[in-house]
Every structure is written in structure tokens, then in C-alpha cells.
Amino acid sequence: MTGVRVEIAGGTAVVTLDRPEQRNAMTGAMGRALGQAYRELDGDDAVRVVVLTGAGSAFCAGADLSAGADTFESPSDSGFSASPVDPPAFALRKPVIAAVNGHAIGIGMTLAMQADIRIVAADARYAIPQVRFGVLPDAMAHWTVARVAGMAVAADILLSGRTFDGHEACRLGLASRCLPATDVLPAALDVARDLAVNVAPMSAALSKRLLWDTAIRGYHPTRVAELETELHLRVMGRADATEGVSAFLEHRDPVWSARLSAEWKDLPAS
């Protein structure tokens, strides 16, 4: 795939933005390739968790600016989208961890915000600076940042386009952990391995979908309670519900049998 590399081992898929000489600056082809990778991994039962990271010392330096002042010229075709990665990470049924191993600027940061979990490098630089280039934030950042970190944080970083480090990213609620750059990917892989082994794939998929659907649709707590009950009834009495308890009591790794590719049913419409 153009500028995107995928490696799968032990239930974890590592998706690497792979243009290190350009600090993984995003092109249209990369966006399409990342969406294709997401679709394929979401349909692969051997993949339990996806980790998104960058090659070299950067996560993603933002949009490719090789066109210079013409970078943000009006598109010549009608297929332009400010959300070039389809599906977004939050639409996958597998947990997605952004291992933000270095600078994440513009679309680099907005794509990381679509992940479920973010681990960032302490001394790297982060910004969503599009307003400083005469355009505006992309990849649904006006929604993801506000939902993840709150309206005040979203207004602060989206309207100013200012730069901040990993410590501040954690303080603002934009990331869950802040580590030395060399520790970011190993830490993300440790989390991924734990999820891949110990979390039932169907349970993770249903919980993730309910979590994000609640954010998207603004479900009332009583509706969430109804959906939690319905989804419990889907999994209670099934093999994985028995296996999870048995493995815990027997102090062993569980062997999950549910297969998303064959058994998945989406949440009911509200």
C-alpha cells in the first residue's frame, strides 16, 4: 500500500505510516491506503487489536506540503473530502490504539483523535494548526476533540492552532499516557497484547460500538441501559461467557470462539 505498511502478529495488527523521509506527511494516496487497511483488518478474525504508528521519529507531520503555496488550492474533482480515511478508526469493531511516537501535526493529530486510546511521546510537538494556513481542522476533529476532551479544550486547540507537548496533551485529556518517545510503541504493543489475549472479541466490538454510538447519537442514559441489556442478552449463555469465567478461575489464558466475520450484528437503530 502507498505509504502504509501492515504487520500482523499475535492478534495485533501494526499499521505504520511509512514515509519516514517526509516525516510521514499525509497524501491522498496514503489516506486511501489507510482506509483500505482498516477495512481489511476489521474483517480479519485473526486481528483482535490495531495499533497505528509512524515510521522513524515522527508520527505524521501533517499534510504533504510539497505543492507549496498551492497545497490547499480548490480541488479539481468533486471527490474531495476533508475526512480522507474511510472508515475512521472509531468505526472499526476492533480497539484501535494510536502509538503517537513523535510529532503529530494537523491531520496527523486529527487521525490519532479517531483512535480509542492514545499514547503519546512526551517531548514531541502536537498541533491542529489548519486555521493558521487559511483552512480548518479535518478528519472530524470538531467532533472527536470535543467528545474526547470537551468543548473548552476543542476551542482552545482548534481555534488557536497552537502547539503543545505530550505532557499537556495528557493534561488536556487528549491522550491517556505520555512516555519517552522510544517507549511509546512498546507500551502500545503491551496494551494490544493484553487486549488481544484477555478480551473477548465480540465483547470488545459491542462495547466499542455502544461507546461511540452513544457519543454520536447522544443516547439518554435510559437508552444506554436498554442497549446494554440487549447486548448482554446477545452474549450471556454463549461459549465465550463460559470460557471467560473458566479461564479466570483456572488461571489460564482464555480461548475465544466467537467470530465477528460470521456472527456480528450491528446495534439496533434508536
Q: Is the pLDDT of residue 69 over 70?
A: no
- pLDDT recorded at residue 79: 76
- pLDDT recorded at residue 67: 67
CATH number at residue 61: 3.90.226.10
Mean pLDDT of the chain: 95
Q: How much is the pTM?
A: 0.95
Average pLDDT value for residue range 104-128: 98
> 63 and 131 in one domain?
yes
> 14 and 68 in one domain?
yes
> 108 and 37 in one domain?
yes
Q: Residue 33 carries which side chain, given as an amino acid letter? A: A
Instruction: Name the domain count of the chain.
Output: 2
Domain assignment of residue 119, given as a range: 4-195
Give the model's confidence band at 2: pLDDT under 50 very low, under 70 low, under 90 confident, else very high.
confident
- pLDDT recorded at residue 70: 58
Task: Summarize pLDDT for 73-86 with one digit per residue, the tens.
Answer: 777 776 788 899 99
Rg, C-alpha atoms of the chain: 19
| Domain stop point among 195, 229, 249 | 195
Average pLDDT value for residue range 211-227: 95
Question: 4-9 and 12-17 as β-strands: parallel, antiparallel, unpaired?
Answer: antiparallel
Task: Summarize pLDDT for 124-150 with one digit per residue, the tens.
Answer: 999 999 999 999 999 999 999 999 999
C-alpha 93 chain-centroid distance:
11
